[in-house]
Amino acid sequence: MSDSLDRLYQAVLAARDLDPATSRTARLFRQGPDKMAKKLAEEAIEVVIDAVAGKRDAVIRESADLLYNLTVLWAGAGVRPEQVWAEMTRRERMMGIAEKLPKSPKVAKSRSGNRRPIDALEDRIRKLG
């Protein structure tokens, strides 16, 4: 899989300076990190919703979109795939391949007192199930 993502990453780098009128990748680079992040979040939500709804084919399609948008975000942030793979290897040595490092406890509300976007997503998923 990493070979496929590495190739996708190289294709994203090659397309970032193309004409934004004809290249989705170039358009995302022109729009900046906020738009890149928004597109990644939208695709992640679509994958989750389709998975909860049991739409296997849609999960496959949306996952491809998710990986594309992740590589665009990486490129925009100056992150190379090999850096991510190195982090995965580090975690595997520490905790095993199926584990991720623990984070601090979830905070139910943002600093402004509003619900976090993930809370709204969790509510929406519960309603689907």
- Give residue 107's pLDDT: 47
Residue bearing the bigger pLDDT, 123 or 83: 83
Q: How far is 79 from 61, CA to CA, in rounded Å? A: 24
Section 92-104 average pLDDT: 70
Class of domain 2-102: mainly alpha
Quick check: pTM over 0.85?
Answer: no
- Give residue 115's pLDDT: 54
**Tokens in use for 70?**
């992740």
Q: Give residue 108's Cα distance to chain centre.
A: 22
Radius of gyration over every alpha carbon of the chain, rounded to an integer in angstroms: 17
- The pLDDT confidence band at residue 98, using thresholds 50, 70 and 90, is low
- Give residue 116's pLDDT: 57
- Give residue 105's pLDDT: 58
- CB-based burial, 83-121: b 16+ in 10 Å, e otherwise: eeeeeeeeeeeeeeeeeeeeeeeeeeeeeeeeeeeeeee
Distance (Å) of CA 17 to CA 28, 58, 111: 10, 30, 37
Q: Where are the domains of the chain?
A: 2-102
Residue-wise pLDDT tens digits, 57-93: 999 999 999 999 999 999 999 999 999 999 988 888 8
Section 45-66 average pLDDT: 97
